[in-house]
Amino acid sequence: KSRKSWRRLIETMREAERKYLSPSWGFGLGPEDFAANEIAEGLLYVSHVTKLALDLYMEKAPRFVRFVSPTQKLIGDNPDAQYYIASLRVTTHGGVIDNQNNKEFIVKGCRGAHEVYFSLSVHAPPGDGGNGSSSGAFEQVVTDINDEQISFDDKGCYS
């Protein structure tokens, strides 16, 4: 099963390279040097998306991983913010949430000493009801809380 999943990942990466980094998506159409750099940037982007997916889904227990960094750009560039993301899986049967087998999560941590804003939010695909059939990262905010609603101790920690 592990090898089958691994091979499916590799084939998905091949397909992403063939489909999205092609002339039909506007890649490789310019002068040779420009086209080569454009393809290299596209491969770097596919690598960043793959790295994020591996960070999020390879571990059984959810954990926060850095979503963007000075060297990893996804969705957009926001150099003043540090975004972390965790994947919480919801058990469903036929699109209906299974409250018997789902887990409750307690989020604990400490904010950075120089953070001017802190928030946590839960996202789901529109109309999904939590069945995990997302085609992207952030379609719908289900709930959120920010630093005005969170109690921090004198070290900036919360639970």
Q: Which residue carries 């928030």 as its tokens? A: 119
Residue-level pLDDT, tens digit, the chain, 159 residues: 889 988 999 999 999 888 888 888 888 888 888 888 888 988 988 898 888 888 888 877 788 888 888 777 777 666 677 888 888 766 666 666 666 666 777 888 898 888 888 888 887 766 544 444 444 555 678 888 999 999 999 999 998
C-alpha 157/C-alpha 76 separation (Å) is 29
What stretches of the chain show up as alpha helix (H) in DSSP?
2-20, 32-57
The closest alpha carbon to 58, from 82, 83, 86, belongs to: 86
The closest alpha carbon to 134, from 78, 82, 98, 90, belongs to: 90
8 A C-beta contact, residue 123 and residue 103: no
